[in-house]
Structure 1
């Protein structure tokens, strides 16, 4: 295995393990909808299940429709990210790292959808009554990866 693909494997593995381990802790120690305030007025751990996509997208649709749609879309997105990874030169390590984070995050949330039919979220940031949608480690990896990817697209020459 080349160094390029070792990087993909390591980042993906670390992301998935961190994501699944933190979700397991939440599942084992907190009841659904239970909240533990960590930083008053700003951050709590709140155990929720997201049946939809990002920001609860399609959460109100029938479970069967969501299951098929999200499994197909997640699989296609993961395959596309792997294609981008394959076509990205080793000379762009930050971009490779970003793509690996996106892939690892997608895998982490896909595991939840396969196991539970929902994604376990628990990181709850807010100011007073204004809450950002709860998220998890996989979502964080995807967000960081997408931020680096967009930076590369806007400010650097990328191969795609």
Structure 2
């Protein structure tokens, strides 16, 4: 698979991701949404930190997280470039392209959204508001909106630890970029042998042997 095709795939995912985020950000108040089905909802939330809402504490936690993402995307980009250059399998290049696009999509939010949007609390945000954004460069919040509460209800009393409590499966809210990263990682895990053909494994083993010799 050529680098051109990989780039087109990345751009397609990025466009879908950013169009969906900009639409949600400029049409909904934080916390609003609607039901597509009983098990699939659009629910607008913003993530200030990592996956699952985790945060790096401290005044510079958000900045450190964004800088880490920027370093990571450089590494993923280099991995993609070398995989194409070394004629890696199509599955491998597709998987890395998905991961790269997903990471880049969330980086755009983290780097730029603080300066191009005003906040979404009790109002619908505007793109490029005249009064300025809700934050500064590198301090944007990631827009999430995909919510799949596949099952909601009170767990039976016999369930250890959580018996008798109200439970939702699947509770996290995520976005297209998160989905792309998940798809890429799953492709590498579940189709590992196709992503890394035997010839590539032998080549890696040979290099390892030369290093230890």
Q: What TM-score comes out, normalization by structure 1 length? A: 0.86
Instruction: Spell out the pairing of 1:2-151 with structure 2 (5 A cutoff).
Output: 4-40=2-38, 42-58=39-55, 61-62=57-58, 64-66=60-62, 68-88=63-83, 89-114=86-111, 115-116=113-114, 117-126=140-149, 127-128=151-152, 129-130=167-168, 131-151=170-190
In the TM superposition, residue 20 of structure 1 has moved relative to its aligned partner by 0.4
In the TM superposition, residue 90 of structure 1 has moved relative to its aligned partner by 2.9
Question: In the alignment, is the contact (CA less than 8 A) between 1:98 and 1:149 conserved in 2?
Answer: yes
Q: Distance in 2 between matches of 1:86 and 1:72?
A: 21
- State the SS of the aligned residue for 1:9: helix
RMSD: 2.0
- State the SS of the aligned residue for 1:90: coil
Q: What TM-score comes out, normalization by structure 2 length? A: 0.66
In the TM superposition, residue 63 of structure 1 has moved relative to its aligned partner by 5.6
Q: Distance in 1 between matches of 2:192 and 2:142?
A: 29
Stretches of structure 1 that go unaligned for 5 or more consecutive residues are none
Quick check: which has more Rg, 1 or 2? 2
Q: Distance in 2 between matches of 1:75 and 1:149?
A: 22
In the TM superposition, residue 123 of structure 1 has moved relative to its aligned partner by 0.2
How many residues are matched?
A: 155
Q: Distance in 2 between matches of 1:23 and 1:7?
A: 24
Larger helix proportion of the pair: 1
